[in-house]
Structure 1
Amino acid sequence: MPDLHHLLLFVAAGLLLNLTPGPDVLYIVTHALRSGVRAGIVAGFGITAGCFVHIFAAAVGVSALMAASSTAFTVLKWAGAAYLLWIGLRMLFARPSPGASKTPDLIASSADGSSASGLKGVFFGGFWTNVLNPKVALFFLAFLPQFIAPGTANTPLAFLLLGSLFNFNAIFVNVGWAVLAAWMARRMGTVQRAMRWLDRFAGAMFIAFGVKLALTDAPTR
């Protein structure tokens, strides 16, 4: 494990990286704006759960195998790109229900995303958005070893501990995004009418992220 100085550096770098806008932040903000802070927080927890998959994969060497195999990277890349495009297209072309804010049934099965079944859909939408993104797996594989001392006796355990710390800190950032977005929504008098344009914008952004992921080259050894 790193010393205190490197540990604080790791925490600071992790917080800055989590603040960087991307598909995860967009997913949280979209749900918080549309369905309130609870939906945004649940979206963040889904993303956090997806990160744990990549952390465990890095710890046991699965991510290293994927980094070394262009075939494995390509399969996961296309699966992730297709999922992002699917989300984007559904949001872009879904029709809002009269007199209510709309949530695509891909992400939430209820009209407003606030019921138990709707929140379950929000959670798993965030989970799969992260799990199917090979760039997240490669990020952990590239970022965490920089803070693991050479000759560490139990490298997998160090991966798990640092990855869990990174994910724990990310929870506060994700909750912050959800609270901020929900606060903004409460102060928008035209938020109901704006939801349709929000969906179009978010859908276009998810499509852009999907295309960008599809065009990503496999890492070279």
Structure 2
Amino acid sequence: MLSLSVLSLYLAALVAVYVLPGPDMALVMATSASRGVGAGLLTALGIAASRFLHVMMSGLGLAALMATHPLLFDAVRWIGAAYLLWLAWKVVRAQPAPEGAPR
């Protein structure tokens, strides 16, 4: 069980992280400005879902599991690298927007 002092320090850090604008907020603002409020809300929802997933996996001991099973850690790392390469490939292969098209 966490002591009250550790819990209050954790909550203060958590509030600071969520209140101060960062790259997530910049992404939401840029998406909202270029594609509209709906797209901005979907972006914010995606960010919230990824944070929730990260917290749940941490809470369930996924970090400890990966620390004790290096093969599992390597598999997750290579799958993540493959996903990033796939995203890069999609960006490279994307057709440029026609002149005068809204961005």
Please give the TM-score of this superposition, normalised by the length of structure 2: 0.63
How far apart, in 2, do the equivalents of 1:35 and 1:79 lie? 30
Amino acid at match of 2:78: W
2:72 is equivalent to residue 72 of structure 1: yes
**Aligned-pair distance for 1:93?**
4.0
Note if contact 1:31-1:40 (Cα within 8 Å) is conserved in structure 2.
yes
Amino acid at match of 1:69: H
Amino acid at match of 2:47: I
Q: Which runs of 5 or more structure 2 residues have no equivalent in the other structure? A: none
Q: Which residues of 2 match residues 170-209 of structure 1 at below 5 A?
A: 192=103
Between the aligned residues of both structures, percent identity stands at 34
Amino acid at match of 2:101: A
**Aligned-pair distance for 1:29?**
5.1
Tell me the number of residue pairs that the alignment of Structure 1 and Structure 2 aligns: 99
Aligned equivalent of 1:40? 40
Aligned equivalent of 1:147? none
Aligned-residue RMSD, C-alpha: 3.1
Question: Structure 1 residues 25 and 88 mapped into 2: Cα distance closer, same or farther (>3 Å)?
Answer: farther
**Aligned-pair distance for 1:50?**
2.3
Aligned equivalent of 1:89? 89
Amino acid at match of 1:40: G
SS at match of 2:101: coil
Question: Structure 1 residues 62 and 37 mapped into 2: Cα distance closer, same or farther (>3 Å)?
Answer: same
Q: Which residues of 2 match residues 18-33 of structure 1 at below 5 A?
A: 19-21=21-23, 28=28, 31-33=31-33
Q: Which has the higher contact order (CA 8 A, sep 6+)?
A: 1
Q: Deviations over 1:67-117 (max 9, x none)?
A: 22221111111212222232233234422443434xxxxxxxxxxxxxxxx
How far apart, in 2, do the equivalents of 1:48 and 1:91 lie? 24
Question: Structure 1 residues 28 and 75 mapped into 2: Cα distance closer, same or farther (>3 Å)?
Answer: farther
Amino acid at match of 1:42: L
**Aligned-pair distance for 1:2?**
4.4
